[in-house]
Chains A and B, each alone.
Chain A
Amino acid sequence: EPEVTQTPSHQVTQMGQEVILRCVPISNHLYFYWYRQILGQKVEFLVSFYNNEISEKSEIFDDQFSVERPDGSNFTLKIRSTKLEDSAMYFCASIGRQSWETQYFGPGTRLLVL
């Protein structure tokens, strides 16, 4: 069964450093999303992406964040200058043509900013 994959599974970085989180959505999926979950808190929407453009973004997704689909398979989230409060689990999700409303989530990347 196709799955969303994410790399790395864990990342530790110093405050102010740039990080890139990578996702490979399910093949042929069209809409892509990033969410985050701070430890003990709700899953929060960051951004949605369709047709090589941002469709919607939350107020969390400020100028420090960017997304890119550099090729036909990868979908990345970049945090330019990490802050302590960026420490969280980051989840990628995607939607396909057949199940147009169901978002399938990856296993997540645990980011720790020191």
Chain B
Amino acid sequence: GAVVSQHPSWVICKSGTSVKIECRSLDFQATTMFWYRQFPKQSLMLMATSNEGSKATYEQGVEKDKFLINHASLTLSTLTVTSAHPEDSSFYICSARSPGSGANVLTFGAGSRLTVL
């Protein structure tokens, strides 16, 4: 079946630094990927829709200069948290629509836990 891989799964960084999280579709091409943020004991919040070859579409309230999304190829989207601060600590998850499903089935990555010191 379709597999989405996220890397790194855990990352700790100092305040003020930038962190890049990768989301790869391993055995299919994904023209659209989605980035979510999950706060402890809460549901997933859609941050942005990543479109291959074009600018990402950000949800209301998400700072596009803070959370840079690049979808450079049909199998890779990256989320860069710039000038990270402790309040950016969270669980970030990506997903992609599985091909041929005809039902908009989303395949999720395993998530990346970011801790900003």
Partners in one complex: no
